[in-house]
Each structure stands twice: as C-alpha cells, then as structure tokens.
C-alpha cells in the first residue's frame, strides 16, 4: 500500500513539474531593468506622498512585492542604476541604451521593462525610442507614490508594464510608457502634474491604448520612425554633443544663451514663447551664435502644436531648425543624436520631420 502511495505521489509530482515547466516555457521572458525613482522610493509614513526618498528599494524587492508577475511572465531583475531621475545624464542614457540592445539581441529575452523616476521618464523613453535596435517591446514605468504610501501605484504599474512587455500587440510599437492603466508612445507623452497619479498624458496627439485585466489594448500607433527604423546608432558612442535649452519669457535676455555657448554647447534649443517667438533683444545673439557654428533649434514652451518654419523668425535666412511638435526637452535629445551624424541644418530639419 505504502509503495503504491509513494508511486502515485512521485507520478503526481513529475506531472506537476512537467506541467509547470511547459507553462513557464509559454510565459514571456521579461527583463526588469531598475534605475531608481519613486517607484523604488520609501516614505516615513503611509501618508507620505511628497517628501519621501526616491531610489531606496532594489529591483528584487520591487519584483517580490508583486508575486502576480510570476503568473504572466518569467521575470529577471537587474539594477542598472539607483538614482532619482532628475539626476539622469547623457552617460546614464548611453549605458542604459547599450544594455537594452545587448539584452534584446538575446533570443531568450522577449521584452524589457525599465523602472524609472517620473521626472525625466519621458526623456529616457524618447532617447531609447531613437536608439533601440529591436522590435521587441520596451516599456518604461514609474510611480507617483512611493511603495510605502497608501494606494501606492507602483506595484500595479509594474504589473501592467510587464503585461504589456510580454504582449504580442506591443511588438513594433516603439518604446512605450505605462502608468495609470494607460499606454503612451515615447515621442509625445509628458508628465503634466507635479504629484497626482494621473500625471502622465499625451495631450492633443493622444495616447496609444489601455491595460485592462489581463490584456493590453492598442487603438493608435505613432506615425513617426523609431527603433529599428531609426538611423541613430550609439554602439560606438562614449558621449553625446552638449546641447542646452534656453527658456523664453517676458523680459528675457541673452545671458543664459551666451553662458551655454561659452561653456561649449554645440546646439541650443530655444524654448520660445508662443510659436517659438524670439525676443527682439535676443535675436541678434541667437543669429550670431548660428553664424559661429552653434546649431539653433526653435521650439516652444507652450506644450502643444506645430512649430511652424519661418513663422515667428526667418528660419531660412537665419539657418535655424524648427522642432515640429517636439517639446524642448525632447528636441534636445533628437538634436544631440542628430549631431552625432551631421551639423547640416537641412539634414537636421529632415530628422525633426521624421522622428
């Protein structure tokens, strides 16, 4: 009798292990690359939703806090950085972009989730959108509340991001941003509120879809080139050209502009008022900077709309580039990458109409 029971137990165990391994084989293999931010933050009390410390919790702890991940994927965590994202640098971006490309080239990696601070999440997403050389999903995720807070949004955001990264529908969509059950494209998403959980939006141009229950639902896709269709390659880059942003406002002067140029800026993004307008007392200095070889891109501080060429300035005559609909912070990224290939303003303008 005992021998029979043992035999049945071993058979049941063997059957379970086979079933488990078959099930695990069917689950997507998702790498979670952790960089810090609020999603890895902690506060003194459960009601501390501001004034907490970002970048204190490691990637394995983030994964352990969401055991449901194991039902939808085989996740592996890697701590790439542990920083608040306002401190993200070009060097961090190059390191992260190269690591993403190495991992995505591996056949046993089906997708990548990057946990990231929300302050510059949209910038890292756009940078990766231009340099990732794979159609496999890359999803950036953050949180507006630390994991110690009541109704923390990090765990569900992480679960949704892994779900998206493992979904067939996300393949070839470009780098994605997932918070608050929404799916946004890297090019047009932006942080619109300093602290509320619904902060990430794609105003006017629209988000791409939703996560609901066990699925990702897409309703749009971007019309601009990205990832495998991008001409930018960072594999041999150790630095990016210095590009700075000059902010436009009433009573503006050229002090910041001239200081950036004196410090070696190769390109300037002029985040002008309205349709990228340039104050009368600044225009001569901007024109002089261009004549001395600094690439000038006219962008707008407004947040939405097309930056029209030859609208608020004679771009043809001044040899300026315009940012199309890119925010100043994203125009900076495209100009940096563009200037790794050319300083020709006609070629650079083409890039702003392409990506």
Binding-site ranges for ligand DAS (CB under 6 A): 37-38, 54, 84-86, 117-119, 142
Compute the least distance from the CB of residue 147 to ligand DAS, in Å: 12
Residue nearest to ligand DAS (CB): 117
Compute the least distance from the CB of residue 84 to ligand DAS, in Å: 4
Rounded to an integer, what distance in angstroms lies between the CA atom of residue 55 and that of residue 44? 14
Q: Which is nearer to ligand DAS, 142 or 209 (CB)?
A: 142
Task: Tell me which residue has tokens 């890292």.
Answer: 124
**How many other C-beta atoms can be found within 10 angstroms of the C-beta atom of residue 192?**
13
Known active-site residue 56: no
Rounded to an integer, what distance in angstroms lies between the CA atom of residue 77 and that of residue 80? 9
Compute the least distance from the CB of residue 146 to ligand DAS, in Å: 9
Provide the 8-state DSSP code for 114: E
For residue 39, the number of C-alpha atoms closer than 13 Å in the C-beta half-sphere is 36
Bridge partners of 321, per DSSP, are 297
Compute the least distance from the CB of residue 325 to ligand DAS, in Å: 24
Residue 310: which residues within 8 A CB-CB, separation 6 or more? 316
Q: Which is nearer to ligand DAS, 119 or 285 (CB)?
A: 119
Q: Which is nearer to ligand DAS, 43 or 248 (CB)?
A: 43
Is residue 123 within 8 A of residue 88, CB to CB? The reply is: yes
Task: Tell me which residue has tokens 């340099």.
Answer: 131
Task: Tell me which residue has tokens 């001409």.
Answer: 231
Rounded to an integer, what distance in angstroms lies between the CA atom of residue 240 and that of residue 245? 15
DSSP 275-315: TTB--TTTHHHHHHHHHTT-EEEEEESSSSS-B-TTSSS-H
Q: Which is nearer to ligand DAS, 15 or 50 (CB)?
A: 50
For 258, list phi and psi in degrees, rounded to 5.
-70, -30
Q: Which is nearer to ligand DAS, 120 or 349 (CB)?
A: 120
Compute the least distance from the CB of residue 199 to ligand DAS, in Å: 9
Kindly name the residue from 35, 38, 202, 325 that is annotated as catalytic.
38
Q: Which is nearer to ligand DAS, 52 or 260 (CB)?
A: 52
C-alpha dist (Å) from residue 116 to 4, 111, 151: 54, 16, 19
Compute the least distance from the CB of residue 260 to ligand DAS, in Å: 24
Active centre residues (catalytic): 38
């Amino acid at each position: 009798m005992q021998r029979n029971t043992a035999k049945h137990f071993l058979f049941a165990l063997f059957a379970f292990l086979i079933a488990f391994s078959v099930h695990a084989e069917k689950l997507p293999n998702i790498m979670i690359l952790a960089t810090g931010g609020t999603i890895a933050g902690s506060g003194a009390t459960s009601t501390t939703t501001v004034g907490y410390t970002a970048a204190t919790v490691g990637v394995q702890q983030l994964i352990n806090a969401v055991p449901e991940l194991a039902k939808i994927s085989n996740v592996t965590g890697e701590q790439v950085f542990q920083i608040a994202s306002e401190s993200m640098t070009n060097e961090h971006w190059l390191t992260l972009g190269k690591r993403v490309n190495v991992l995505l080239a591996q056949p046993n990696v089906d997708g990548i989730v990057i946990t990231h601070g929300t302050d510059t999440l949209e910038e890292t997403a756009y940078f990766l959108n231009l340099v990732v050389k794979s159609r496999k999903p890359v999803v950036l995720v953050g949180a507006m509340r630390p994991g110690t807070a009541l109704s923390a949004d990090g765990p569900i955001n992480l679960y949704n991001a892994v779900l998206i990264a493992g979904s067939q529908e996300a393949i070839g969509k470009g780098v994605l941003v997932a918070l608050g059950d929404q799916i946004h494209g890297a090019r047009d998403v932006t942080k619109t509120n300093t602290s509320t959980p619904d902060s990430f939006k794609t105003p006017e141009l629209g988000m791409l879809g939703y996560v609901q229950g066990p699925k990702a639902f897409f309703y749009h896709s971007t019309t601009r080139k990205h990832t495998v269709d991008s001409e930018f390659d960072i594999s041999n880059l150790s630095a990016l050209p210095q590009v700075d942003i000059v902010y436009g406002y009433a009573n503006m002067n050229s002090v910041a502009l001239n200081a950036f140029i004196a410090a070696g800026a190769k390109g300037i993004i002029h985040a002008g008022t309205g349709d990228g307008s340039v104050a009368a007392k600044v225009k001569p200095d901007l024109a002089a900077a261009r004549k001395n070889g600094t690439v000038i891109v006219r962008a707008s501080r407004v947040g939405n709309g097309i930056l029209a060429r030859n609208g608020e300035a004679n771009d043809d005559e001044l040899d300026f580039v315009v940012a199309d609909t890119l925010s100043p912070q994203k125009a900076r990224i495209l100009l940096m990458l563009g200037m790794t290939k050319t300083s020709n303003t006609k070629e650079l303008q083409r890039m702003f109409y392409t990506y």
